[in-house]
Chain A
Amino acid sequence: MNLPPVDRRQFLTRGAAWTAAVTLAPGVLLYDMARARPAGEPASSAVRWGMLVDVSQCDSGCDACVQACNREQALGTPTRPTDPQWMRKVQLEQNATGRKVSLPMMCQHCAQPPCVDVCPTGASFKRADGIVLVDKHRCIGCRYCMMACPYKARSFVHAPVEDHSGATPRGQGTVESCTLCVHRVDQGEQPACVQACAKEGRQALLFGDLNDPQSEISQRMRALNAISLRPDLNLDPGVSYAGL
């Protein structure tokens, strides 16, 4: 078998990453389980879940986060403009400098979400912990939220859903978007994309509590001068980007 050549530096880096993963994983698991919210207890506004995207750590050729999302929610591989994409990789080239970067886009879980404002039935809603969701039983499929979202984060289910093995209920004729893997978060786990990014040995995605100034995400946001997309709209997104 022809393996790609690995230099000494790469070997040591990957070895260290794997060792750290194997050593820390059980501890992280126990810690996460201890943080899990008991069943029946409502989401609390004491926390605000958010995500930091460190663009400098994101590789343009890597879409592990997107694939993890598609697997987790059983979205399949999008091939048509009608296929849903809860998460996508965007390639950017700065007009002035030619600098190229790549980053994942998904629902930005705004504190002032336009999708929630415009939804006629209240199907689009924001949980107390900041996660923006769609109530699939209330959504009438008017798509006004898709018109209102400045980040193009939402998809409409154009065809019958055949694979129901995903973590989130899905239905034809309704709108859907990134749930921040709320099913995992409520179990004290990390979203699938964040986990997949870490598994690739990258640190491009970090999930955590924005309300806690001492949380790792808050500290890294400060250290890296993270910004939100379309700050002019003043929507206070829960997802921030560093290195843009």
Chain B
Amino acid sequence: MSQSATSFSRIEARYFFLLLLLGLLVVMGGLWAAYQMESQGHILSGMNNQIVWGLPHVFAIFMIVSASGVLNVASVGSVFGRKIYKARGPLSGLLSLGLLAGGLTVLMLDLGRPDRVIVAATTYNVTSVFAWNVLLYSGLFATVGLYLWTMMDKTMGAWSRPAGILVFCWRFILTTGTGLIFAFLVARQAYASALLPPLFIVMSLAWGLAIFLIVQTAMYRWNLQELNPLILKRLKNLLGIFIVTLLYLMVAYHLTNVYFARQVDFERFILRDGGILTFLFWGGYVGLGSAVPLLLIFLPGLGQGRHMWIASLFVLTGALSLLYVFIIGGQAYPLQIFPGYHVYSSFADGQINSYNPSSYEWMLGVGGMGVAFLVTLLGVRVLNFLPYDDPHYPLESN
């Protein structure tokens, strides 16, 4: 790689320090919020005994799922040998590490006893998918780290493909594991479906690529570079396919539910009567998160660099909306312990449960995003992550 290409990866100093300060402030805010919740209890959150996983889980799962998805680009490059993707492998690996670090930070700090995280790291219950995920998440750090090493150290180049294949397999198992967290919940109507692991995999493909596109665009812009339109075209088609596939699986998920009489009331709640949840589903996920990006990608005359950037932002808006509906909505709908009865109790039996996330939860969740941002920023600054495309390489043959 030429010297000039190396220098492209360096974000301009004043931007860098400004962004570093911003990232640090956001992370500090998250840590402060976590400390307050640790010392005073989750009473500071909007969670209660009915909604036990709140906004921090939405952010955490968003980042963990995306951490697997941003590796798409690396996987296509290393596993399938596509050169334009291969050039993007290091950036995709770095983003994965950053997002995973952010997601796990939030997940850990949202525990009731984060001081006991060592218990989780040393005591495994083999039947728990959570315990499996502890291994899968730490394994992803290790495998992606190894993969980055093989990509960035010329002497290790021969190992890049095997390491890429290892990461490729690992991330699919990892996202399956994340989907299984919900798929194994037999009691709740929103979950307990074998469709969830593939659904999570497709989510990861779409959201990870959207994050990659946003970061790549920002990096090129800061370095005053223009991305080759042919590369953009490939990535935009890929994003479009992922958005459509996710929509398809969501239709299958809801349609099967609507067909089962025992699930009809739950679907009515999510799709029609759920207030903010319904609004987020249709407006946030279906409208802004799917329809608008598809138009931006495929409408004639659109699909250029800035359209893609906006489309990716909308995809992420849809991602957070969808996860909010999935996680909060799944708990807001009451457990069906007594089918055929109208139920009432002091513990909200038979009632739709309400949830208003507190500022502490927002700070913790956004703080986790800050961690991902800082890891990426520092990585890009210190190491050489800007994709370098050989200007003489014939793109069409790829």
Contact = CB atoms under 8 A, between A and B. Distances in A.
A218 B49 CA distance: 33
Nearest to B331: A147
B130 A91 contact: no
Nearest to B354: A81
A207 B50 CA distance: 28
Interface in B49-86: 49-50, 52-53
B124 A120 contact: yes
A160 B130 contact: no
Prevailing SS type, chain B contact patch = loop
Nearest to A147: B185
A202 B42 CA distance: 39
* Residue in B113, B184, B335, B340 with the greatest tally of chain A CB atoms within 10 Å: B113
A91 B345 contact: yes
Nearest to B187: A150
A217 B272 CA distance: 46
Prevailing SS type, chain A contact patch = loop
B4 interface: no
B113 A146 contact: no
Contacts of B42: 82, 156, 158, 173
B113 A141 contact: yes
Interface string B111-144: 1111011011001110111110010000000000
* Residue in A82, A120, A122, A150 with the greatest tally of chain B CB atoms within 10 Å: A120
A229 B341 CA distance: 13
Given A122-B125, A150-B335, A173-B41, A81 B348 contact: yes
B337 interface: yes
A92 to B, nearest CB: 4
Given A118-B129, A158-B43, A140 B343 contact: no
Interface stretch (A44-52, A93-101, A183-191): A93-101
B338 A138 contact: no
B15 interface: no
A142 B111 contact: yes
B344 interface: yes
Contacts of B346: 78, 85, 88-89
B41 A159 contact: yes
Nearest to A155: B49
B249 to A, nearest CB: 22
B254 interface: no
A73 interface: no
A96 B342 CA distance: 10
A197 B342 CA distance: 25
Contact of B345 (A90, A96, A146, A149): A90
Interface residues of A, number: 53
B345 A88 contact: yes
Given A159-B41, A159-B43, A233-B187, A143 B119 contact: no
Interface string A107-135: 00000001011111110000000000000
Interface in A162-177: 172-175
B113 A121 contact: no
Contact of B342 (A93, A119, A158): A93
Interface of A: 78, 80-85, 88-96, 105, 114, 116-122, 138-144, 146-152, 154-160, 172-175, 229-230, 233
| 6 shortest interchain CB distances as A-B pairs | A141-B112, A173-B112, A150-B187, A120-B130, A81-B48, A143-B52
Interface of B: 38, 40-43, 47-50, 52-53, 111-114, 116-117, 119-120, 123-125, 127-131, 134, 181, 184-188, 331, 335, 337-338, 340-349, 353
29 contacts: A81-B50, A82-B42, A82-B47, A85-B346, A89-B346, A90-B338, A90-B343, A92-B343, A105-B345, A117-B184, A121-B124, A138-B119, A138-B123, A140-B113, A140-B120, A141-B116, A143-B53, A143-B112, A144-B128, A146-B52, A147-B188, A148-B186, A152-B347, A155-B49, A156-B49, A158-B43, A159-B43, A173-B42, A233-B187
Given A118-B129, A120-B134, A142-B112, 13 more contacts: A80-B48, A83-B49, A85-B49, A92-B341, A105-B349, A119-B128, A121-B119, A139-B112, A142-B111, A143-B52, A147-B188, A150-B186, A230-B337
